[in-house]
Structure 1
Amino acid sequence: MIRAVFAAFLALALPAAAEIKIQEVTSPGGIKAWLVEDHNIPFTALEIQFRGGTSIEAPDKRGVVNLMTATLEEGAGDMDSRGFAEARDALAADITFDAGADSVSVTAQFLTENRDQAVTLLREALVNPRFDQDAVDRVRGQVLSILRSDAKDPEAIASQTFNRLTFGDHPYGSTGDGTIETVTALTRDDVVAAHKAVLARDRIYVAASGDITAEELGALLDRLLGDLPATGAPLPGRAALLQPAGLTVEQFPSPQSVVIFGHAGISREDPDFFAAFILNEVMGGGRFTARLMTEVREKRGLTYGVGTYLIGYDNADLLLGQFSASNDKVAEAIKVLRAEWARIASEGVTPEELAATKTYLTGSYPLRFDGNGPIAGILVGMQMEGMPIDYITTRNAKIEAVTMEDVKRVAARLFQPEALKFVVVGEPAGL
């Protein structure tokens, strides 16, 4: 019953973007956070990011951060795995941990009446995880099962192949889940060392949204995070893009092929980023009016869907795309895609495309702020990206300011037909 009430609170906590007022909070111990107060519903969302993620791992320890993160909720303090789960459920609290290439994330949502107990429980997981050997072995088994499944998944094979060819020996070049060999060899001591290396105060970004004041949040931060190590492991350096242009085919028995394509992208800090953002939406955004959807799907029926994405890692930037097509249609789809890449590079976009895309991007932006959880996630992401605290109120103006001249100039810079790399997994004909 209490979870049903909690779900109702989540659905009701929907402040509009225009009403969002962000405060910067500094705890007595010096931990900084961004806060959006909303006292209409007695519920708070907390988002924490630790910069570094799986990219801090040594090559022979690949998968250790993922294994550590997945084991954090498998017992803490005097609670074993079952005890921790029962305590969390009794509080109607949601606590999740996740490991990415550039960060480890902690997401917590709790009712105001249970805030103190929920924070105590979360602190135990972060500061005093047990890492019992049986829990480590159980989670390791789950990870190994995923790795075996990925070895038979054409999408996973395509992604891993593209990353290996692009980044080589850099951690981005291999999956953060690790390999069968590295994960099998990991010990409990490796997991404990990863915990100290990743969950440190010198790489924390925090955001909160909901029924909590700045003073309350400041005290919460010191209580929750103050006892973590002061510093963590060194962060990786910039990744060089090694991948040459061309085509790589990985044979896989399937009636259709998975295709990943792309080349270097653009940094969010680049003055041309918003023009590039608009260009990507015109070329391969999520709408059916995007050029690739029109040319590859609507006009020719070569695929059910195709999209492109600006990918911004901490240490690399890519412009990537993906589609799937029956084996007999892959070659034609790639040919059409190459032609569209060259066309936008030489011609840019039409005034109509620019106007329609601006309308879509500015109009859909407020819809992202559909609850305390999404708001906290957006705020912590803004901090990780180095955005100013007023970005939410200035973002649409930056999009509106992009001109036809901007997009034509940036199109020639961003889209590089001669640099396109395709990885195809399947049994494509004619390649």
Structure 2
Amino acid sequence: MSAPTTHRSAEQIGRTPQGPRPLPDLGAMREVPLPEVHTTTLSNGLRVLAVHRPGVPMVEVRLRIPFAAAGPTADQAFSARAELLSSTLLTGTAERDRVGIDDELATVGADLGVFVDPERLVVQGSGLAAGLPTVLGVLGEVLTSATYPEQELVRERARLVERISLARAQPRTVAREALQRKRFGDHPIALETPTGEAVAAVTPEQVRAVHTAGVVPRGSTLVLVGDIEPQSALAEVEKALGHWRSEETARELSLPPLPVAGPLELVHRPGSVQSQLRLTGPARRRDDPGYAAFQLANLVFGGYFSSRWMENVREDKGYTYGAHSGAEFVPGGAVLGVETDVASDVTAAALLETRYELGRMVAVPPTAEEIDAARRYAVGSLLISLDSQGGLAATLSALDAAGLGIDWLRERPVRLEAVTPEQVADAALQYFAPERFTGVIVGDAETIGPRLRALGGVE
């Protein structure tokens, strides 16, 4: 019988009789190993990117159609029709009903899904690589002859109204809507979820009209990533989608305004026992030469678990389970978001500590050790995100929409390695100073209001 083992703590495992166990040096990574991207534009205006990524015998399919409202302000009617279109696009065509579509995809182990936001309509899915012609055939069918059967649309409309009603009862949804209004006013990008009343008023004819006007190839991009031969895949796309035609061009979202620094807005949610803190300000775009320095500054502040802010409000103070900051990319720019949820009785204290950590980014810039740790995390998380076919397809689609290509990804570790502490300090000074932010706090104003107003900067 073997002797019982003695449990050792993580600290004990990490030490030797001579002191802490040293970590091996990390080798410099010069580039991310990525495959070649084969690109073409069909005669109908559809841009296609095909990538050979073996490993599993599957293929990822991701179609991005710019799908913005026509006007300069948020439009409940259009948003409601777009949401219902995304819910019913795959429910019937001139050739098949919903079951027929599902059965055809199932023959090649595939599925497709649809989602929409103020910028785009996305059809995405995966299937066996050998079944790519079948997947593209179904995709071409729904793009050119979706019928939006009335019975299916009525059923999905009722479900969507119910889902919206449930979502709007959630504090995080309330906070997100309030934050988007604070950031962008009445610009269409602020309207991410229509009202249930607007959805309930949508008819099948209106959805079909939105499809005809907006589901168009010119300006859209299809990304294929998987165990495929790129040139053969491009030929299959031409065969399946070449007849998808329209005189229209996919409608890009107009440039939204960037957040203007100012007081935080207190949004009253009666009876709430928690508060949602949402701060925001401008950020750097991906194609900005200083983006790498901004990314590292953000990681040090609140971009990952070992950040300063997380260490303060979670590990030290115990105010929250999680706190996060990060950039959201919008047409023509980017916005920085700083968010956490806390109990009502520590709302003011959490805001105070958040402002303190923002100020500390300016007064006590990130050290070389903090920057190196953030740099390792940035490169490692990049590799993980691109390890799957789906992750690579999503990233390529997002970069293509921003006018960037795979070379931007390959060179990203080099750019991160080249960032100096002085550049990170400059990014912290420019983007993390407390007075550069605005935002919202959602909670019971009668409970949290007096202390917040005493801190100042809350209206």
| TM score, norm. by length of structure 2 | 0.84
Does the alignment pair 1:115 with 2:129?
no
SS in 1 for 2:218: helix
Equivalent residue, structure 2, for 1:224: 240
Equivalent residue, structure 1, for 2:38: 24
Structure 1 unaligned regions, length at least 5 = 1-16
Equivalent residue, structure 1, for 2:293: 275
Equivalent residue, structure 2, for 1:259: 277
SS in 2 for 1:319: strand
2:197 aligned residue (156, 181, 192): 181
Is the contact made by 1:54 and 1:100 (CA closer than 8 Å) also made in structure 2? no
Does the alignment pair 1:104 with 2:129?
no
Once residues 264 and 53 of structure 2 are traced to their aligned partners in structure 1, the CA distance between those partners, rounded to angstroms, is 52
Once residues 350 and 338 of structure 2 are traced to their aligned partners in structure 1, the CA distance between those partners, rounded to angstroms, is 13
Equivalent residue, structure 2, for 1:372: 389
Shift of 1:371: 2.3
Aligned partner letter, 1:323: T
SS in 2 for 1:203: coil
Aligned partner letter, 1:407: V
Equivalent residue, structure 2, for 1:11: none
Shift of 1:27: 5.4
Q: 1:173 to 1:372 in 2, by over 3 A?
A: closer
Q: For the pair shown, which has the larger CA radius of gyration, 1 or 2?
A: 2
1:300 aligned residue (305, 308, 317): 317
Q: 1:281 to 1:48 in 2, by over 3 A?
A: same
Shift of 1:86: 2.6
Is the contact made by 1:43 and 1:109 (CA closer than 8 Å) also made in structure 2? yes
Shift of 1:77: 2.3
Q: Deviations over 1:358-400 (max 9, x none)?
A: 1221233211122222222222222112213312221100111
Does the alignment pair 1:37 with 2:52?
yes
Once residues 233 and 358 of structure 1 are traced to their aligned partners in structure 2, the CA distance between those partners, rounded to angstroms, is 38
Once the two structures are superposed, the pairs formed by residues 14-413 of structure 1 within 5 Å of their partners are 18-26=32-40, 29=43, 31-39=46-54, 41-53=56-68, 58-175=75-192, 177-226=193-242, 227-232=244-249, 234-241=251-258, 244-287=262-305, 289-413=306-430
Equivalent residue, structure 2, for 1:4: none
SS in 1 for 2:425: helix
Once residues 353 and 188 of structure 1 are traced to their aligned partners in structure 2, the CA distance between those partners, rounded to angstroms, is 56
Q: 1:404 to 1:40 in 2, by over 3 A?
A: closer
Once residues 42 and 301 of structure 2 are traced to their aligned partners in structure 1, the CA distance between those partners, rounded to angstroms, is 48
Aligned partner letter, 2:141: E
Shift of 1:53: 4.8
Equivalent residue, structure 1, for 2:457: none
| TM score, norm. by length of structure 1 | 0.89
SS in 2 for 1:254: coil
Aligned partner letter, 2:197: E
SS in 2 for 1:35: strand
Q: 1:263 to 1:245 in 2, by over 3 A?
A: farther
Is the contact made by 1:346 and 1:411 (CA closer than 8 Å) also made in structure 2? no
Once residues 362 and 284 of structure 1 are traced to their aligned partners in structure 2, the CA distance between those partners, rounded to angstroms, is 17
Once residues 326 and 314 of structure 1 are traced to their aligned partners in structure 2, the CA distance between those partners, rounded to angstroms, is 35
SS in 1 for 2:416: helix
Once residues 26 and 232 of structure 1 are traced to their aligned partners in structure 2, the CA distance between those partners, rounded to angstroms, is 18
Is the contact made by 2:60 and 2:389 (CA closer than 8 Å) also made in structure 1? yes
Once residues 164 and 172 of structure 1 are traced to their aligned partners in structure 2, the CA distance between those partners, rounded to angstroms, is 9
Is the contact made by 1:305 and 1:324 (CA closer than 8 Å) also made in structure 2? yes
Q: Deviations over 1:9-54 (max 9, x none)?
A: xxxxxxxx95422222325636433322145543222222112356
SS in 1 for 2:147: coil
Once residues 137 and 160 of structure 2 are traced to their aligned partners in structure 1, the CA distance between those partners, rounded to angstroms, is 28
Q: 1:240 to 1:375 in 2, by over 3 A?
A: closer
Aligned partner letter, 1:184: A
Structure 2 unaligned regions, length at least 5 = 1-30, 453-459
Once residues 52 and 275 of structure 1 are traced to their aligned partners in structure 2, the CA distance between those partners, rounded to angstroms, is 32
Once residues 261 and 146 of structure 1 are traced to their aligned partners in structure 2, the CA distance between those partners, rounded to angstroms, is 27
Once residues 166 and 151 of structure 2 are traced to their aligned partners in structure 1, the CA distance between those partners, rounded to angstroms, is 23
Of 83-92 and 392-401, the range deviating more from structure 2: 83-92
- Count of matched residue pairs: 413
Is the contact made by 1:144 and 1:183 (CA closer than 8 Å) also made in structure 2? yes
SS in 2 for 1:202: coil
Aligned partner letter, 2:96: M
Q: 1:420 to 1:93 in 2, by over 3 A?
A: same
Equivalent residue, structure 2, for 1:13: none
Is the contact made by 1:20 and 1:36 (CA closer than 8 Å) also made in structure 2? no
Q: How much identity, in percent, do the aligned residues show?
A: 24
Aligned partner letter, 2:312: E
Shift of 1:241: 3.8
Is the contact made by 2:303 and 2:325 (CA closer than 8 Å) also made in structure 1? yes
Shift of 1:279: 0.9
SS in 1 for 2:345: coil
SS in 1 for 2:135: helix
